[in-house]
Amino acid sequence: MAEGEWQPKIIAIICNWCSYAGADLAGSARTQYPPDIRAIRVMCTGRVDPLFIMKAFADGADGVLVSGCHFGDCHYIAGNFKCAKRMFLLKSVLKDLGIDDHRLRMTFVSASEGAKWAMVMEDVVKTVKELGPSPINQLKQ
């Protein structure tokens, strides 16, 4: 692939109540951000099985974002907290596998934080672009 042409493939798994609503709010406010992220909606980040993230990396994702409500604001009391614990553990697994753990990110964006969602999008895309294509993709080639 020629330099400069590479577009990262980033997947986001986001919760229905906070981050999905925050992302919608960025829309109503017409806040612009790069279009490189594809979102999958779940009811709560608690639903996020580490397997989903491993699968995404195995499929060639260059980055994965998980985003939910702020601690204490979870629609289901503490699903976001339980997810965060899993993500923390998963990061060390990724490192062991030779995948830079910055490729996996967990953020907390509430339903009123449209502007923050846009910032997260900018930042995740920037981070992943700096890291370059996932080593799994490089192996595959």
Partner 1 sequence: MAEEKKQPRIGVFVCHCGTNIAGTIDVESVKDYAATLPNVIVADDYQYMCSTPGQAKIIDAIKDHDLTGIVVAACTPRLHEPTFRTATKEGGLNPFRFEMANIRDQNSWVHMHDPEGATAKAKDAIRIAAAKASLLEDLYPKSVPVEHAAMVVGAGVGGIQAALDLANAGIKTYLVEKNPTVGGRMSQLDKTFPTLDCSQCILTPKMVDVGRHPNIELHTYTEVESVDGYIGNFDITLRKKARGVMSQDEATAKGIVGGGCNGCGDCAAACPVIKPNPFEFGMAPRKAIYIFHPQVVPLVYTIDFDACVKCGLCVEACGEKKAIDLEMTDTFETVKVGTVILSTGYDMFEIEKKREWGYKQFDNVITSLEFERLICASGPTGGHLIRPSDGETPMKVAFVLCAGSRDNTGVGKPYCSRFCCMYSLKHAHQIMEKIPGCQPYIFYMDIRSFGKMYEEFYYRIQNEGAKFIRGRVANVLEDAKTKNLHVYAEDTLLGRPVDLEVDMVVLAAAVQPTENIDPVRKMFGVSCSQDGWMLEAHPKLNPCGTTTAGVFLAGVCQGPKDIPDTVAQAEGAASAASIPIHTGKVELEPYFAQCLEEKCAGCGMCISQCPYSALDLIEKDGKQVMHVTEAKCKGCGTCGGFCPGGAIYMQHFTTPQIVAQIDAFLLGGEQ
Interacting residue ranges for partner 1, rule: CB under 8 A: 9, 11, 13, 16-18, 20-21, 23-24, 26-28, 30-36, 38-49, 51-52, 55-56, 59-61, 69, 72-73, 75-79, 82-83, 86, 110-113, 118
Give least dist CB 14 to partner 1, A. Answer: 10
Half-sphere exposure of 41 (CA within 13 A, CB side): 10
Give least dist CB 12 to partner 1, A. Answer: 10
DSSP 3-state assignment of 71?
coil
Neighbour tally for 86: CB within 10 Å: 17
Question: Between 55 and 95, whose beta carbon lies closer to partner 1?
Answer: 55
Give least dist CB 82 to partner 1, A. Answer: 6
Question: Between 43 and 97, whose beta carbon lies closer to partner 1?
Answer: 43
Please name the residues in contact with 36: beta carbons below 8 A apart, sequence gap of 6 or more: 7, 8, 9, 10, 125, 128
Give least dist CB 92 to partner 1, A. Answer: 17
Question: Between 17 and 104, whose beta carbon lies closer to partner 1?
Answer: 17
Distance CA(51)–CA(24), nearest Å, equals 27
Residue 45 vs residues 30, 32, 62, 66, 80: alpha-carbon distances, Å: 26, 25, 20, 7, 5
Question: Between 51 and 97, whose beta carbon lies closer to partner 1?
Answer: 51
